[in-house]
Structure 1
C-alpha cells in the first residue's frame, strides 16, 4: 500500500459537491426572480392586518338618528378594536348596518366625525352604529388601492 498516493490524490468529492451547490443556487435564484416577474411578490405585501373586534348590542325602542330624526333601528351596536394591528380609518369599513361606511365617514350623535381620514384605529378605539336586531354587521378591511379586502370580524343580531 502506497501511503503517498492518498496524500497526493486530489480527485475527491469536491467537484460533485460544487456542481450540486451551483445547481441549487441557480434554482433558488430562478424561483425568486419568477416570483417577482409573475407578480406574486406584490401579494405578499398586501396582506390584511390582524386585529380583533368586540361587539356590544344595546336594544332600544326608539333610536335618535345622528341627524336628529327618529330612526327605524332596533338598537345600537358598539364596535371596539380589542387588539392587534392598528388600521387607518379610511381603510376600515362597517358593512351591513344602517350606518354603512368607512370609519372616517361615520358620525356621532350631533354630526361630529368619530375619526379623521388618517386616524389610526388601535386597541381601545370604538364606534357606534345603528342596527336592527336582524342585521349582520361585518368589519371589513380594504386596502388603499382597493385590490385587497378581508372581513376582520362579524356580528349577527339576536333575530338574525
Structure 2
C-alpha cells in the first residue's frame, strides 16, 4: 500500500460521523418527547406569586369588617385571588359596597364579582390596593385567608392568613 493513498483514503470517517449524529438526534428527540409527555414545562410558568397582605379589624356595633390590603410583593391578577373565611362574608373595594344580604355572602369569595363594588376581571392587585370583607355580623375569632389559584386551577397557595381578635 502506498503512503499517498493512506492519507487520501477517508472512507471510514463518514460512517463514524453518521452514527454519532444519529445517536445525538435520538437523545435530543427522546428528551423533547419526554418533557411533553411528563408535562415538566407546564409547571414552570405557574409559579406562586410572592405577596404580603395586611389585615385590619374593625369591631363595629352594626357589623364587623376586615380590611385586606396588599402591602408588598408581586402584582397579581384579580381573577387568581379569593378570600376564604370560616364564616360567609361579602367582599368589595369600598366599605359601603359590602352587602349585608346572605345571598351575596360565601366562605370562598372571589376578588372579582359581577357588578360594581369589587375588582373587575382582568385587573391586577398591587401594593396599596384594598378589599373589605364583612356583612353585618360578628367576625370575632373568624379566620381569613387570601388564596392564589393558578390559571389551570391545578395549583393554589395561601398568600396570607389572619384570625380576627375575640373582643
What TM-score comes out, normalization by structure 1 length?
A: 0.63
Once superposed, which parts of structure 1, at least 4 consecutive aligned residues long, lie more than 6 Å away?
none
> CA contact under 8 A between 1:93 and 1:141: conserved in structure 2?
yes
Matches of 2:127 and 2:149 in 1, distance apart?
19
Matches of 2:75 and 2:68 in 1, distance apart?
19
Kindly state the Cα deviation for residue 52 of structure 1 after the two structures are TM-superposed.
0.7
Q: How many residues align?
A: 144
Matches of 2:14 and 2:127 in 1, distance apart?
57
Q: 1:63 aligns with which of 44, 60, 65?
A: 60
Alpha carbons of 1:152 and 1:81: their partners in 2 closer, same or farther (altered >3 Å)? Answer: farther
Comparing 38-47 with 122-131, which one deviates more in the overlay? 38-47
Q: 1:142 aligns with which of 146, 149, 165?
A: 149
> CA contact under 8 A between 1:52 and 1:153: conserved in structure 2?
yes
Larger relative contact order (CA 8 Å, sep ≥ 6): 2
Q: Secondary structure at the match of 1:153?
A: strand
What TM-score comes out, normalization by structure 2 length?
A: 0.61
Comparing 46-55 with 131-140, which one deviates more in the overlay? 131-140
Kindly state the Cα deviation for residue 153 of structure 1 after the two structures are TM-superposed.
0.9
Written as runs of structure 1 = structure 2, the 5 A alignment for 1:22-61 is: 22-36=22-36, 38=37, 40=39, 43-44=42-43, 47-58=46-57, 60=58
Query: What residue ranges of structure 2 are gaps of 5+ in the alignment?
Result: 98-115
Matches of 1:63 and 1:10 in 2, distance apart?
92
Q: Secondary structure at the match of 1:96?
A: strand
Q: What is the root-mean-square deviation of aligned Cα atoms in Å?
A: 3.8
Matches of 2:11 and 2:75 in 1, distance apart?
58
Give the corresponding residue for 1:96.
85
Q: Secondary structure at the match of 2:95?
A: coil
Matches of 1:81 and 1:32 in 2, distance apart?
41
Matches of 2:41 and 2:88 in 1, distance apart?
33
